[in-house]
Amino acid sequence: MAFHFRQRCFSSALLAVVIQLLHGASGQLVVVEEPISAPPPPLVDLNGGDGIVPALFIFGDSLIDNGNNNNIPSFAKANYFPYGIDFNGGPTGRFCNGLTMVDGIAQLLGLPLIPAYSEATGDQVLRGVNYASAAAGILPDTGGNFVGRIPFDQQIHNFETTLDQIAGKSGGAVAVADSVARSLFFIGMGSNDYLNNYLMPNFPTRSQFNSQQFGDLLVQQYTNQLTRLYNLGGRKFVVAGLGRMGCIPSILAQGTDGKCSEEVNQLVLPFNTNVKTMISNLNQNLPDAKFIYLDIAQMLEDIVANQAAYGFTTMDKGCCGIGKNRGQITCLPFETPCANRDQYVFWDAFHPTEKVNLIMAKKAFAGDRTVAYPINIQELASLN
């Protein structure tokens, strides 16, 4: 479904108040009459047909960034060839040869590809916005080695700006609040808090916290951030866990035996465990909210266990990169990537190929409880 619009301006703060009024203290929807005014213009329909949700709002890091770092002073960029070699239109800022996981999810929802916040204009914002930024993390200092990036707190602030834009086009705060409540929020954060914070020698966190303490710190902050999005009107949330980070080419290249780093894989376990607990707590404590967890590690383990069935031949090297495991230096401008990209799990030193992304998108959308809990994205989107 799409948003209805009439010209009127409401701030994101006012929207948050309206959302609370709409749902009341009990979380039950309260019917509020809107002032009578001119009828809305026709539904905005940017992709030839309505999706099963009004919009998709995306928050995360380079796994799902689609160009937000292109025009900021950052070393974390992918707006050059051969990134985008299989994407219609070439390099966009996606850290992939083609589509990302959230691109696949948007398509399955019947939505257009969601524009980057830095590039979204006009009515594009009505079907959703992607705020993800390479090198970003839950913690504000994460990714500082790359200079420019947009941490999760700033991404949430950018969503508030989008709410103001939507409200300026809308038929009223009540209409906006209802549409936002029916939209999906996809959040995939945390990998950089390990790769570009805890595991970096120039960051103090490893000397300050053991793995459990660091996982606790991250999820305490994460809980506050997700609650902010709830207070801004979000009600349907998809939260992705972390994958087997000890098996990415960048980490494999640092080892001596060619095997996944079990130290790194074990390091992130407290985070995933804590996120699952957080999901349950938020579902219990926030009226009318529905959070689901995507088990990215389980999805990747299934791909590894059934690599032949999926058509993969190379699990331990990047398709584009330099050095050991093609993971010591990630994909450089105009480097020649592998030709058989559909047989590779990893595109570069850190990120999966389009083929893996689309497999995971389908699992997230329609998978069973081993990969999406307590329900999958399709079921979440269909909830009233």
| Burial class of residue 255, CB neighbours in 10 A (0-12, 13-18, 19+) | middle
Burial status of residue 48 (CB atoms within 10 A of its CB: 0-12, 13-18, 19 or more): exposed
**296: amino acid identity, one letter:** I
Q: Is residue 348 annotated as a catalytic residue, yes or no?
A: yes
Residue among 68, 190, 187, 63 at smallest CA distance from 139: 190
Which of 12, 62, 118, 170 is flagged as catalytic? 62
The DSSP output letter for 34 is: P
Q: Which amino acid is at 187?
A: I
The question of whether 368 is a catalytic residue gets the answer no
How big is the chain by its Cα radius of gyration, in Å?
A: 21
Q: How far apart are CA 261 and CA 345, in angstroms?
A: 17
Which of 116, 234, 220 has the alpha carbon at shortest distance from 179? 234
- Catalytic status, residue 261: no
- Closest CA relative to residue 93, chosen from 165, 150, 41, 47: 150
Which residues are designated catalytic?
A: 62, 348, 351
